[in-house]
Amino acid sequence: MENIILVVHLILAICLIGVVLLQRSEGGGLGIGGGGGVMTGRQAATALGKLTWAFAIAFLATSITLTIIAAQNSASDSVLDQLGIESSTTNEDDPSGLLPPAPATPSGADLLPPSTGDAPALPPRADE
């Protein structure tokens, strides 16, 4: 179903581009174009104008439909579930699981380099 709507969406996009390009320029954009007359506030609706509105409404409808279908399909899985990555640590302060896990706080002994045998843990100072 999603593929059918996507194909219709692409056809509507191409038709909308074609209909807009077929319309006569009214000269309103930056003074460019062939419309040199008195600009009136309201213009008569032509067949191409009505067709443009129909294509635009159908294009927006298919856009919203595709968005709803994509949201329904992605609601069941996350990207991490699809990759097979498991979250082993959680943040105790956040029951929803939205915050990243809290970093482990090192103790004073973790900051010292490991000592080997009789060698001092720290190098001697220069004034000694």
Q: How far apart are CA 25 and CA 46, in angstroms?
A: 13
Residues of the chain with pLDDT under 50: none
* Extents of the domains making up the chain: 1-23+48-73
Q: What does pTM read for this prediction?
A: 0.50
Alpha carbon distances (Å) from 107 to 90, 104, 110, 121:
21, 9, 5, 17
pLDDT in tens, 10-23: 999 999 999 999 98
The candidate with the shortest Cα–Cα distance to 60, out of 13, 112, 118, is 13
Question: What's the CA dihedral at 102, 104, 108, 113 to 10 degrees?
Answer: -140
Q: How far apart are CA 19 and CA 53, in angstroms?
A: 10
Judged by phi (left if over 0) then psi (alpha if -120 to 50, else beta), residue 115 lies in: beta
